[in-house]
Structure 1
Amino acid sequence: MVVRPRPGKPTQGILQWAGQAFPCALGRGGIRAVKRESDGATPLGPMRLLHGYFRAGPSRALSAAVLSSPLPFRAIRADDGWCDAPGDRNYNRKVTLPYPASSETMRRADRLYDCVIVLDYNIRPRRRGMGSAIFFHIAREGFAPTEGCVAVSPRVMGRLLPHLSRRTVLTVLR
């Protein structure tokens, strides 16, 4: 999968896969080669898909697509979080809530993490302050900017899921 910025709209992009193009949302800080924590930028370069989380429930349209994906997924629990505190030993890792350091709640009130895939950006090695929680997830209405992630519509995510595996690489270009 290749992502490029949409001409004239640095917070939106075009995701290309198997000869098709889909709209996507990018970070509010555009695309940057050198990412920093809280800059809102989507990191430039290749990122492997590691594993994912989904919101379980019979009314969730993505549940069937998640279950058909070769990528490993786990249902999001109420106490799942992701540490975004650069000084913490669990920086850019999944944590259990409540967590004493700054962290993001994975079970969000909105639909963004109905399906969320962890990208290997700043995972191994982890560098403090170089960015955390870089995911591939569901976009807001109108493809509003993310905090640095790549996001697509639920329909596009459902189309892609059966083809995504740990060998899949999402490459962000300028």
Structure 2
Amino acid sequence: MADLRLTPTGLRLGPHRWPCTVGRGGLTSAKREGDGATPRGTHRIVGMFWRPDRLPRPAPWAEPIRPGDLWCDDPRHPLYNHLARAPMTASHERMRRADRLYDLVLVTDWNWPEATPGAGSAIFLHRWRGPGRPTEGCIALRSDHLLDFARRLEPGTRLIVP
């Protein structure tokens, strides 16, 4: 499987490029929770979640996003940077969002599975808000491009952010 590579003109897979956006904090080699930056490095795609009430299953290895699914972003919590379930009082993101940003999510291994508290969480590939609109640290793509990736990628695909 070819690597995904972030370039100045988009995300490249083999000879193809798709426009994307990155974190509002740009790229960083010193990722911290809440900095809005996309971490540099070689990451792996380790999971895929999708909203079965909105999309057909994009790949055999995709897991459904269920009501009550959360992603813990509280560095003090034992589930920091892991999938969690409601109810949860610690800081978290809802995976089942009202908007469509997380209808399809590719999970990277940034600070996972052994999370270092405060080193950043929830570094995903997901749907963008629009061209040029930054994320909170993820990489975001047009929904049809994201779906194309989901169908092509396998667990363990490398994502290179130079």
TM-score interval for Structure 1 and Structure 2 normalised by the shorter chain: over 0.9
Which whole-Å CA distance do the structure 2 matches of 1:143 and 1:78 have between them?
Answer: 30
Pick the aligned partner of 2:125 from 136, 142, 159.
Answer: 136
Counterpart residue number, 1:54: 50
Counterpart residue number, 2:98: 109
Q: What secondary structure sits across from 1:162 in the alignment?
A: helix
* Aligned-pair CA distance for 1:161: 1.8
Structure with bigger helix share is 1
Checking the alignment, whether the CA contact within 8 Å between 2:123 and 2:137 is kept in structure 1 is yes
Pick the aligned partner of 2:141 from 143, 152, 174.
Answer: 152
Indicate whether 1:45 and 2:41 are aligned: yes
Q: Which amino acid aligns with 1:18?
A: G
Q: Which has the larger displacement, 155-164 or 46-55?
A: 155-164
* Aligned-pair CA distance for 1:63: 2.0
* Aligned-pair CA distance for 1:169: 0.8
Unpaired runs of 5+ residues, structure 2, are: none
Pick the aligned partner of 1:120 from 109, 117, 120.
Answer: 109
Q: What secondary structure sits across from 1:130 in the alignment?
A: coil
Counterpart residue number, 1:11: none
Counterpart residue number, 2:153: 164
* Aligned-pair CA distance for 1:36: 0.1
Checking the alignment, whether the CA contact within 8 Å between 2:43 and 2:158 is kept in structure 1 is yes
* Aligned-pair CA distance for 1:130: 0.3
Q: Which amino acid aligns with 2:140?
A: A
- What is the total number of aligned residue pairs between the two structures? 159
Q: Which amino acid aligns with 1:156?
A: H
Unpaired runs of 5+ residues, structure 1, are: 7-13
- Note the aligned Cα RMSD (angstroms): 1.4
Paired residues for 1:69-88 under 5 Å: 69=59, 72-88=61-77
Which whole-Å CA distance do the structure 2 matches of 1:99 and 1:15 have between them?
Answer: 34
Q: Which amino acid aligns with 2:29?
A: A
Structure 1 stretches of 4+ moved >2 Å = none
* Aligned-pair CA distance for 1:33: 0.5
Deviations 1:101-130 (A, max 9, x none): 111100011111110011000003311000
* Aligned-pair CA distance for 1:43: 0.4
Paired residues for 1:24-35 under 5 Å: 24-35=20-31
Q: What secondary structure sits across from 1:142 in the alignment?
A: coil
Counterpart residue number, 1:9: none
Deviations 1:55-109 (A, max 9, x none): 112xx4x525x1xx25x21111110001101111111111111202111100011
